[in-house]
Amino acid sequence: MEKMTIKDLDLNGKKLIMRVDFNVPLKDGIITDDTRIVEALPTIKYAIENGALVILLSHLGRPKGERKPEFSLKPVAQRLSELLDKEVIFVPELYGEPVNKAIANANPGDIILLENTRFDKGETKNDPELAKKWAELADIHVNDAFGTAHRAHASNVGIAQYIPSVAGFLMEKEIKFLSKATSNPEKPYVVILGGAKVSDKIGVITNLLNKADKILIGGAMMFTFLKALGKDVGSSLVEEDKLDLAKKILDSAKEKGVEFILPVDAVCAQKIESGVEKKIFKIDEGIPEGWMGLDIGPESINLFEEKIANAKTIAWNGPMGVFEIEDFENGTKEIALAIANETEKGATTIIGGGDSAAAISKFKLKDKVSHVSTGGGASLEFLEGKELPGIAAIANKKKIED
Ligand SMILES: Nc1ncnc2c1ncn2[C@@H]1O[C@H](COP(=O)(O)OP(=O)(O)O)[C@@H](O)[C@H]1O
Ligand SMILES: O=C(OP(=O)(O)O)[C@H](O)COP(=O)(O)O
Ligand SMILES: [Mg+2]
pLDDT digits (tens, 9 = 90+) for 227-250: 999 999 999 999 999 999 999 999
- For 170-225, what is each residue's pLDDT tens digit? 999 999 999 988 788 999 999 999 999 999 999 999 999 999 999 999 999 999 99
128 shares its domain with 232: no
Q: What residues contact 261, with CB distance under 8 A and at least 6 apart? A: 214, 215, 216, 217, 303, 304, 307
Known binding residue 79? Answer is no
Q: Is 377 a residue of the active site?
A: yes
Q: Is 19 a residue of the active site?
A: no
- The pLDDT value given to residue 181: 81
121 shares its domain with 265: no
Q: Which of 236, 55, 25, 35 is nearest to 137 (CA)?
A: 55
Q: How far apart are CA 344 and CA 338, in angstroms?
A: 10
- The pLDDT value given to residue 399: 52
Q: Cβ(353)–Cβ(369) under 8 Å?
A: no
233: DSSP letter: B
Q: How many domains does the chain have?
A: 2
Residue 179 lies in a domain: no
Residue 223 lies in a domain: yes
Residue 393 lies in a domain: yes
Residue of 3, 36, 214, 307 marked active site: 36
Residue 317 lies in a domain: yes
Residue 383 lies in a domain: no
265-269 and 165-167: which strand pairing?
A: unpaired
232 shares its domain with 130: no
Residue closest via CA to ligand 2's atom 4 equals 376
The percent of residues above 70 in pLDDT, for the chain, comes to: 99
Q: Can you give the CATH number for the domain in which 337 is found?
A: 3.40.50.1260
Residue 374 lies in a domain: no
Ligand 1 proximity of 297 Cβ (cutoff 6 Å): no
- The pLDDT value given to residue 212: 96
279 shares its domain with 140: no
Residue 378 lies in a domain: no
Ligand 2 proximity of 353 Cβ (cutoff 6 Å): yes
Q: How far apart are CA 295 and CA 263, in angstroms?
A: 10
Q: Where are the alpha helices (DSSP H) in 282-396?
A: 298-308, 330-344, 354-362, 377-384, 389-392
101 shares its domain with 192: no
Q: How far apart are CA 379 and CA 216, in angstroms?
A: 17
Ligand 2 proximity of 21 Cβ (cutoff 6 Å): yes
120 shares its domain with 218: no
Compute the mean pLDDT over every residue in the chain, rounded to the nearest whole number.
97
- For 371-399, what is each residue's pLDDT tens digit? 999 999 999 999 999 999 999 999 999 75
254 shares its domain with 148: no
* Mean pLDDT to the nearest integer, 94-113: 98
Residue of 15, 197, 214, 242 marked active site: 197
Q: Is 354 a residue of the active site?
A: yes
Ligand 1 proximity of 263 Cβ (cutoff 6 Å): no
144 Cα to the center of ligand 2, angstroms? 14
HSE at residue 366, side-chain half, CA atoms within 13 A, is: 13
In degrees, to the nearest 5, what angle opens at C-alpha 329 toward C-alphas 326 and 334?
135
198 Cα to the center of ligand 3, angstroms? 11
Residue 356 lies in a domain: yes
110 shares its domain with 197: no
- For 312-324, what is each residue's pLDDT tens digit? 999 999 999 999 9
Burial 190-215 (b: 16+ CB within 10 A, else e): bbbbbbebbeebbebbeebbebbbbb
Within 10 A of 82 (CB to CB), how many other CB atoms are there? 12
393 shares its domain with 302: no
38 shares its domain with 81: yes
311 shares its domain with 165: no
Q: How far apart are CA 171 and CA 369, in angstroms?
A: 19
Q: Which domain holds residue 290?
A: 184-369
Known binding residue 255? Answer is no
- For 357-369, what is each residue's pLDDT tens digit? 999 999 999 999 9
Ligand 1 proximity of 317 Cβ (cutoff 6 Å): yes
Q: Bridge-partner residues for 141, per DSSP?
A: 17, 165
- The pLDDT value given to residue 398: 73
161 shares its domain with 227: no
End-to-end CA distance of the chain: 15
Q: How far apart are CA 213 and CA 191, in angstroms?
A: 8
| Burial label, 272 (beta-carbon count in 10 A; 0-12, 13-18, 19+) | middle
402, pLDDT greater than 70: no
Grade residue 1 by pLDDT with cuts at 50, 70 and 90: confident
Q: Is 242 a residue of the active site?
A: no
* Integer-rounded Cα radius of gyration of the chain: 22
Known binding residue 244? Answer is no
